[in-house]
């Protein structure tokens, strides 16, 4: 299965519970960024630009655990910055697992060996390793030689130790479809449990030209969609159709909320109107219908997976054809 059964059951229960309580705009995933500092400086990383003046701020542990309670999501993705630099990462991970949250640690893998000495495999834990292509491309994106080889070594180690391993690949203009195929086949041979392949995010704070334009996506993602039939690609078939321009989707930015040392970032993972002291304040200050219907000019070229896969999750069961496609996708 591309996603753990327990995670899918918990997600379905969460949606049912929130709907029963009459909530319409509720989150599914918390992107918890306890710090923005990193031990790499990747090309295309919006965080190290947007938060350059506060890079070394670290969230107190109680605040990080409290954010998970406030958001009340079944999935907590610990990202950053590089989360394994965070001084409370072991306590935070264990605390979230105790709260029965599905923890995904999004990491460049450089400090993994140290971390896994302290946190054993758990059904609520998975690693999401950043890998943007084969050796030459990945090392160029992360601006350091040897990182690709280290990631492969860590994937092998994690799998041998019994951890769940996913990868997260950002596709840039220069990434070729052939290289994506080579990488997906390599990761399959290593036993990777799930692969997320998404277009580069055009952060509002970045102005360089490395990101795919909407009309450039179909060629690259046509190959990914074909590969998704035989490989553990996590992107849903509906989202892949959207990337190929074969269907349209509304955005559901409230399904993935972001908390960092500055507060709750709104309205979405990509664009920032402000940071709010509490989840409630952020929620009440945001006109979700405005963003759902992508009226903001900053939404024009956006196909961010968290916003649109959120829509796919919320629409599950509404359309028979899509529902069958999703069930097939997840149990394959």
Q: Does 234 bind ligand SF4 (CB under 6 A)?
A: no
Question: With CB under 6 A, what is the number of residues at the site for ligand SF4?
Answer: 14
Give the orientation angle of helix 177-189 with respect to helix 217-228, to 10 degrees. 30
| Residue in the structure block whose two tokens are 């009309």 | 215
User: Does residue 195 bind ligand SF4 (CB under 6 A)?
Assistant: no
Residue labelled with tokens 């092998």? 156
- Dihedral of CA atoms 257, 241, 225, 6 in degrees, nearest 10, equals 40
Contact 6, 233 (CB under 8 A): no
Give min distance, CB of 66 to ligand SF4, in A. Answer: 25
Between residues 27 and 307, which has the closer beta carbon with respect to ligand SF4? 307
Paired tokens of 251: 């955005």
Shortest distance, CB of residue 56 to ligand SF4, whole angstroms?
Answer: 27
Which among 63-71, 127-135, 148-156, 295-303 is the span making contact with ligand SF4, rule CB under 6 A? 295-303
- Among 180, 299, 313, 326, which residue interacts with ligand SF4 (rule: CB under 6 A)? 299
Residue in the block written with tokens 């196909």: 303
Q: Residue holding tokens 């509304």? A: 250
211 binds ligand SF4 (CB under 6 A): no
**Binding to ligand SF4 by residue 27, rule CB under 6 A?**
no
Query: Is residue 253 near ligand SF4 by the rule CB under 6 A?
Result: yes
- By CB under 6 A, residue 42 contacts ligand SF4: no
Q: Does 217 bind ligand SF4 (CB under 6 A)?
A: no
Closer residue to ligand SF4 in complex, CB, 84/106 = 106
Interface with ligand SF4 by CB under 6 A: which range of 8-16, 44-52, 181-189, 263-271? Answer: 263-271
DSSP 201: P
Q: Is residue 14 involved in binding ligand SF4 (CB under 6 A)?
A: no
How many angstroms separate the CA atoms of 225 and 330, rounded? 14
**Residue 22 or residue 297: which is nearer to ligand SF4 going by CB?**
297
Helix residue ranges, H only, the chain: 5-20, 47-50, 61-71, 89-98, 112-115, 135-141, 147-161, 177-189, 217-228, 237-243, 279-285, 288-292, 305-314, 320-331
Residues interacting with ligand SF4, by CB under 6 A?
A: 251, 253, 267-268, 270-271, 291, 294, 296, 298-299, 302, 304, 307
């Amino acid at each position: 299965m591309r996603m753990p059964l327990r995670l899918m059951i918990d997600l379905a229960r969460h949606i049912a519970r929130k709907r029963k309580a009459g909530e319409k705009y509720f989150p599914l995933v918390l992107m918890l960024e306890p710090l923005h500092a990193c031990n790499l400086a990747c090309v295309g990383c919006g965080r190290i630009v947007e938060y350059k003046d506060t890079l070394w701020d670290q969230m107190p542990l109680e605040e990080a655990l409290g954010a998970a309670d406030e958001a009340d999501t079944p999935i907590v993705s610990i990202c950053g910055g590089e989360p394994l630099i965070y001084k409370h990462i072991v306590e935070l991970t264990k605390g979230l697992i105790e709260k029965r949250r599905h923890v995904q640690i999004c990491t460049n893998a450089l400090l993994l060996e140290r971390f896994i000495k302290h946190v054993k495999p758990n059904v609520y834990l998975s690693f999401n390793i950043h890998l943007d292509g084969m050796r030459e491309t990945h090392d160029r994106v992360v601006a350091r030689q040897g990182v690709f080889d280290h990631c492969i070594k860590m994937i092998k180690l994690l799998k041998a130790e019994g951890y769940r391993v996913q990868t997260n690949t950002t596709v840039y203009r220069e990434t070729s479809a052939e290289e994506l195929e080579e990488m997906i086949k390599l990761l399959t041979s290593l036993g990777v449990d799930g692969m997320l392949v998404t277009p580069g995010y055009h952060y509002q704070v970045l102005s360089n030209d490395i990101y795919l334009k909407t009309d450039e996506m179909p060629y690259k993602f046509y190959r990914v969609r074909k590969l998704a039939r035989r490989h553990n690609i996590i992107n849903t078939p509906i989202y892949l159709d959207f990337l190929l321009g074969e269907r349209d989707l509304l955005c559901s930015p409230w399904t993935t909320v972001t908390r960092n040392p500055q507060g709750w970032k709104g309205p979405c993972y990509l664009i920032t109107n402000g940071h709010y002291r509490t989840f409630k304040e952020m929620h009440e200050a945001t006109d979700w219908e405005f963003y759902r219907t992508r009226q903001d000019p900053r939404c024009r070229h956006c196909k961010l997976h968290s916003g649109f896969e959120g829509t796919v999750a919320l629409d599950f069961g509404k359309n028979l054809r899509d529902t069958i496609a999703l069930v097939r996708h997840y149990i394959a």
